[in-house]
Structures are given as structure tokens and as C-alpha cells.
Chain A
Amino acid sequence: MTESLIFFALAAFILLGAVRVVASRDLVHAVLWLAVVLVLTAVMFLMLGAPFLAGVQLLLYTGGVITLMLFGVMLTRRHHEIGVEVDSSRRLPGALGALALFGAMACAIFRTDLPAWPSSAPVSALEIGRAFLTDHLIAFEVLSILLLAAMIGAIVLGRQSDFGDEPETVYRKGGRP
């Protein structure tokens, strides 16, 4: 009984946070709500028998991703238009598409006969590490190459300008001189 109570409380806060992420006018608030959602999801992972994933989620998301997002917000906002953020012009079709998708998923969930929550021992880091370095070794290596490529890509994109001339000026339309 307490387990379902905890579950519903967590779910309610996760959904509240998610709505605030999407609907918040102030971007810093949105990032902080995203942090709330990610931390509570880590707690949910803990409940579902994935303590290692909960740890990784906390370290990577709330440690790395949220910090990066905050940097993104701080680096790109201009002081005079804080909080001024207008919605997309095609708001209604987007919302209808999202709701249609939700309808399809809800249909699938209701029509599927999912078994009850079975009790099982939490998956330890040992098992995950062993599986990664035996059965999923190739995927693991490909993943490391992907991370390297993403790192180099981020550096290239974030660089101030190319050496010598600045090719970006060609595309500048009425921006800064």
C-alpha cells in the first residue's frame, strides 16, 4: 500500500514538473523543473529495481545535462527580454498531433494485458558491467566512438570562428556587424 502511495506521489510530481518545463515562461525555472523531473525519475528507477541506473541518472543528468542547459540559457539570453518567449505560430496542429499520439499510446496500453509488477532483486552494477563487456561489447565500443564524435562536434560548433577569416558572416542577416 505504501509503495503505491509513494508511486502516485512521485508520478504526480514528475508530471507537474514536466508540465512546468514545457509551459514555464522563465527559462531558468524551466531548467530547474527539468532537474526536479530527472531527480524524481531517478527515485522511480530505484523503486523499479535499478539502483545503478538511478545513480547514473543523478550523476549524468542532474550533474551534467542540467549544468549545460543552464549555461545555454545564461549564454543566449538578452537582458531586456528575459521571460519574453512566444509560442510557436502553429500551436494548435502541434498540440492536436501530440494528443493523437497520446491517444494511440493509451489505446495500446489499455488493450495490452500487462502482468502485475513482479518482485525481483535489484540489478547490481556488477551484472550491468559484465553484460556490457561480454554480450554488448560491440554496442559499447560504438557508443564510445559516438561520444567522441559528439565531443569533437560540440567543440567545432562552439568555436568562436575559423582560423583566419570568418565564414559565418556570409549568412548573417541584419545581425550584429
Chain B
Amino acid sequence: MLPMDHVIALSAILFTIGVLGVATRRNLIVILMSIELMLNAVNLAFVGFNRIWSQVDGVAAIDGQIFVLMVIAVAAAEVAVGLGILLAMFRNRDSVNVEEVNLLKW
């Protein structure tokens, strides 16, 4: 049997790659995809931890998987609004570069 560390470690590495993408790229689509990667990493960790504590006092615990479903729903909402913002930004500024959109930046 595999130790559970592996799944959690995979999740951590995946999350770090997502953070790297958000921090180092400036195309809004790539940033959105990196956020998806991070949410995916979190889902993996949730499922892994749910597997670790799948039995609490003899009763099956599935709260981790419930949480994953909620994260997936929030991710879908985020993509819809994110792409709406992307299209509005492209219409107005003719660019998807986040460094060119700095009207609200101090």
C-alpha cells in the first residue's frame, strides 16, 4: 500500500506549479488556467485526506468528497466570470496582458 504522503506531496507540487503560473505569466488565460491547476491540487488533497479519514468511529465519512464537489462548482463559476472579464478586457483594451490593465492599481 502506498503511504498517503505521496498524494499530498503530489498535490503540493501541483499547487506550487499553479502559483508559479499566476506569479510569472501575464496572459490572463494562462493565469486562469493556473488557478484551475491550484483548485485541482486542492481537490486532490481533499480526496486524499478523505481517504485517510474515511472511517470515523465506524461510520463512513465523505465530507472531503462533498467539499470537492463544492470546489468544482465554485471553479466553474470562477471560469465563467473570469472569461467574461477576459472578453470585456479584450474588447476595451485590445489586449489580454494583465500588466496593461492597471487603472485601479496604486
By a beta-carbon cutoff of 8 Å, the part of chain A in contact with chain B is: 3-4, 7, 11, 14-15, 18-19, 21-22, 27, 30-31, 34, 37-38, 41, 44-45, 48-50, 52-53, 56-57, 60-61, 64-65, 68-69, 71-73, 75-76, 85-91, 93-95, 97-99, 101-102, 105-106, 109, 114-121, 123, 127-128, 131-132, 136, 139, 143, 146-147, 149-151, 153-158, 168, 171-173, 175-176
By a beta-carbon cutoff of 8 Å, the part of chain B in contact with chain A is: 1-10, 12-27, 29-30, 32-34, 36-37, 40, 43-44, 47-48, 50-52, 54-55, 60, 62-63, 65-66, 68-70, 72-81, 83-88, 90-94, 96, 99, 103
Q: How far is the CB of A76 from chain B (nearest CB, A)?
A: 4
Contact B19 A147 (CB under 8 A): no
What secondary structure prevails in chain A residues at the interface with B?
A: helix
The residue on A at minimum CB distance from B8 is A109
Contact B44 A18 (CB under 8 A): no
29 contacts between A and B (CB under 8 A): A15-B14, A21-B17, A22-B17, A22-B21, A38-B40, A44-B44, A48-B48, A50-B50, A53-B68, A56-B72, A73-B29, A76-B87, A76-B96, A88-B25, A89-B99, A98-B16, A101-B16, A101-B19, A106-B12, A109-B5, A109-B12, A119-B1, A121-B60, A127-B62, A150-B80, A172-B92, A173-B93, A175-B93, A175-B94
